[in-house]
Structure 1
C-alpha cells in the first residue's frame, strides 16, 4: 500500500511493475493499431467496408464477453489474468507475419486474430483497472491514473510513430511482429507483480447473471456514473468513425505515406499527454466534476477540423484539431476513471470496469461498423464529418449531469454505497 502521507503511487513496487509492463504492452498495441489496418489495405487490398469490418471485429469481443468478464475477473487473481491475456495477444499477433511469410495470409485470418486479440484485451483492461486501487490506495488514484493515461499518450506517440515507420521500412505484416514481441515482454514483466495478492473476495456462490446485473445497476443507477459512461461512449463512437477510414483517406485517396498516418496519430498522442498532465492541477483548482464540465465544451469542437484534412496547410489544421480533441480525452480519462474507481467498492470494481468497457468499446464496434457502411454508401469524407459531429457534441451528458456542480452529485453515490455495503470512500478530495 502507498504511503498515505504523500499519496504517491511511485512508492509502491507493484505499481512500478504494472506501469512498466503496461508500457511494453501499450507500445505493441499502438504499433499494431497502425500496422494491422495497413496489412488489410496494402497487402490484401481491402475495401473501405472491409477495413470497417476489421475495426469492428477488433472491438466486438467487448460486446460478446465484456459483461461476464467483469464477474470472472472479480473471482480471479488479477496477476494471472494479466499474464494470460498478454501471452494470448503475443501468440495471436505473431501468427500474422508467419502466415504472410507462408503466403497464406487472408482477410479471414486477420478477422480471427483481431477478434481473439480483443477477447484477451477485455481481460487485460478490466484486470488492470480493477487491480490499481488495491495497489496504490484510493488516495493516490488520481496520480496513478494520470501516470497511466500519460503513458498511453506517450505510447500513442512512440508506438504509432514506430508502427508507421516499421510499415514503411519492413512492410505491414512484419511490423505486426513488433506488437507480438512487446506483449510477450509485458507478460514476462508481470511475473513479478502481486506476489502477496489477496484471494478474490467476490461471492463465488452468486449466479453469474446476478453479479452482472449488480454491476450494471451500480453504473446505470447513478446519475454521475451514467453521465460519465454516456459521454465516453459518444466520444468513442465519433472518434472511431473518424479513425477507421483515416488509413483509406491518407494512403489511397490522398496518396500520403504510412509514416504520415503514423505521425498524424502520434500527434494525437501529444494532445492526450498534455490533457493527462493538466488533469490533476485543473481538478485541484476546480474540482473533478467542474473540470469535466468545462473541458468538453471548450475542446470537443476542435475535432471538426479533422475532416478537412488534405495536402498542405489543411493537413496542419486537421492535425491541430486532432491534438486539441485528444487533449480533452486525456483530461477526461484521468478524472473519469479516478471518479468511478472512488465511487465503487472493491468487490464491484471488476464488474464496474467491465460495464464501462462493455459500453465504451461497444461504441467503438458500432462506430467502426457504421464507418465502413457509410464509407461504402456515402464516401469517406461524409463519414469523417458524421463522426466528427458526434464527437464534438459528446460532452453533453456530463454537462447536463450533477457532476457540473461539483461535490453535491457525488455525495449521493458515497452515501448510497456506505448505507448498502458499509463502504465509505474518503470524500475529502473535491469532485
Structure 2
C-alpha cells in the first residue's frame, strides 16, 4: 500500500467512492422494506404473531443453508460481478410484491418466497462486499473505511425506517417495497464503476481443494483464534436477542397498542441513530482503549439497558424503551466497526470470503432463530414473553468478552490484531 494511497481521503479513492455511493440508496431502500414488508403482512394480509415471526426468520435462516458454501464460492469468483447480479436478483424479487398486490394475488406464501430470495441475495452480496473492502483501501485504513460504511448504513437506517412509516401510512406499504426494488437497481449501476479486483492467490499448496476442504479451512481458521471465537459468541447472543425484542413490534405497537405506523418507524429509527452514533465514536474509542477493551467497556455499560424494553407500553414507557433501543444500537455501531475491522485485519486475503461467510452463518443464523422464537413465544405466551427473553440474553451478552483475551487488548493494540 503506497503512502499516497494511505494519505488520500477515502472518498477521493474512486473505487471506494463508487462502492460507498452504491450503498447509499440501496441501504435506504432496504430499511424501508424492513418496516414495510411486516406492515404489509399485518395490515393487508392480517398476519398474526406466528406469521410475522416466520417471515423475519426466513429472511435470515437462509444463511444456515448457504452460508459456508457461499464463502468458499466467493473466494473463487469475481466479487464485483457477483454483487451486481445479486442486486439485480433482489430487485426482481421485490418488484413481484407490488405487482402481486396491484393484481390482487398477493399472499403470505409469496412474501415467504421473497424473504428467502432476498436473504440469499443479501448473503452473497454482503460476503463479497466485505471481502472486497481491504483490497480497495488497504488494511491500514480498515477501521476508518468501516466507520464510514457503517455510519452511512446507520444514517440510512434512520432515514429509511422513518420514511417507511410515513410512506406506509400515506402511499401504502406496496409502494414502499417498490422503492426498495429500485434502490437495488441504483446500486447495480454504481457498482459498474468499481474496478474488478484480481482473484486472491490461494494459500494452499496447489489451490485445488474440494469445496468441503475449502469450507473446513475457513472454519478451522476462526475456531483456532480465541479472540474471534469470543467476538463470535457475544455477537451471536446479541443477534439472538435483537429479533426477540423487535420482530413483533408491528403487532404490539400498531396492532395491540393502536399507534399509527409512523410511531413504529420512529421507534425503529432510534436504533439507526444509535448505530450511527456508535460507528462515529468507534474509531476514537478503539484508539483510546484498544479494540477489545473498547468493546468490553461499551458492552458492560450498555447491555443492561435491554431490561427496559419489556415494559414497552403506552405513554412514557414507549419512549423509555425507544431510548434503550438507541443505547443497545450504539453498542452495535461500535462493534460493527471495531470487530469487523479486526476480523478483516487478521484474515489472509484468500480466506476473507470464507471467514466472512462463516461468521455470517452463525450471526445471521442467530438472528433467524431469534425471529422464529419470537413468533413461537408470541403465539404461546403473548407478546411480552419474547421481549423478556431477548432482554435477559442481551443484558448478559457482555460476558463472553469479559472472560476472553479480547478484553485485555489495550491502547497499543487498537490498530493491530489482538
- Deviation digits for residues 94-136 of structure 1 (CA, Å, limit 9, x no counterpart): 1000000110000000000000110000111101100000100
Residue 172 of structure 1 corresponds to: 173
Using the TM superposition, give the Cα deviation of residue 200 of structure 1 relative to its aligned residue in structure 2, in angstroms.
4.3
Instruction: Please list every run of at least 4 consecutive aligned residues from structure 1 whose deviation after the TM superposition is greater than 6 angstroms.
Output: none
Output the aligned Cα RMSD: 1.7
Query: CA contact under 8 A between 1:287 and 1:430: conserved in structure 2?
Result: no
Using the TM superposition, give the Cα deviation of residue 9 of structure 1 relative to its aligned residue in structure 2, in angstroms.
2.8
Distance 1:248 1:154 in 2: 25
Residue 363 of structure 2 corresponds to: 360
1:20 aligns with 2:21: yes
Correspondence for 2:386 among 383, 386, 406: 383
Gaps of 5+ in 2: none
Gaps of 5+ in 1: 411-426
1:291 aligns with 2:294: yes
Shift of the 77–22 alpha-carbon distance from structure 1 to 2, 3 Å rule, reads same
Task: Kindly report which structure 2 residues correspond to 1:2-401, keeping only aligned pairs within 5 A, or say none.
Answer: 3=4, 5-6=6-7, 8-195=9-196, 197-202=197-202, 205-401=208-404
Using the TM superposition, give the Cα deviation of residue 8 of structure 1 relative to its aligned residue in structure 2, in angstroms.
4.4
Shift of the 404–8 alpha-carbon distance from structure 1 to 2, 3 Å rule, reads farther
Aligned length: 414
Shift of the 302–7 alpha-carbon distance from structure 1 to 2, 3 Å rule, reads farther
Distance 1:91 1:7 in 2: 38
Query: CA contact under 8 A between 2:306 and 2:324: conserved in structure 1?
Result: yes
Distance 1:338 1:249 in 2: 36
Query: CA contact under 8 A between 1:341 and 1:349: conserved in structure 2?
Result: yes
Using the TM superposition, give the Cα deviation of residue 10 of structure 1 relative to its aligned residue in structure 2, in angstroms.
2.7
Structure 1 range deviating more: 214-223 or 400-409 = 400-409
Structure 1 range deviating more: 9-18 or 357-366 = 9-18
Using the TM superposition, give the Cα deviation of residue 6 of structure 1 relative to its aligned residue in structure 2, in angstroms.
2.7
Query: CA contact under 8 A between 1:70 and 1:350: conserved in structure 2?
Result: yes
Question: For 1:75, what is the secondary structure of its paired residue?
Answer: coil
Question: For 2:75, what is the secondary structure of its paired residue?
Answer: helix
Distance 2:8 2:297 in 1: 26
Distance 1:209 1:22 in 2: 32
- Deviation digits for residues 339-369 of structure 1 (CA, Å, limit 9, x no counterpart): 0111100000000000110000000110011
Distance 1:409 1:255 in 2: 52
Query: CA contact under 8 A between 2:292 and 2:408: conserved in structure 1?
Result: yes
Shift of the 7–290 alpha-carbon distance from structure 1 to 2, 3 Å rule, reads farther
Query: CA contact under 8 A between 1:7 and 1:140: conserved in structure 2?
Result: no
Q: TM-score, normalised by structure 2?
A: 0.96
Distance 2:74 2:110 in 1: 28
- Deviation digits for residues 4-45 of structure 1 (CA, Å, limit 9, x no counterpart): 553743342111110111112111110000001111111100
Query: CA contact under 8 A between 2:39 and 2:250: conserved in structure 1?
Result: yes
- Deviation digits for residues 367-409 of structure 1 (CA, Å, limit 9, x no counterpart): 0111100000011012111111111211211121101111699
Question: For 1:201, what is the secondary structure of its paired residue?
Answer: coil
Query: CA contact under 8 A between 2:6 and 2:141: conserved in structure 1?
Result: no
Query: CA contact under 8 A between 2:270 and 2:325: conserved in structure 1?
Result: yes
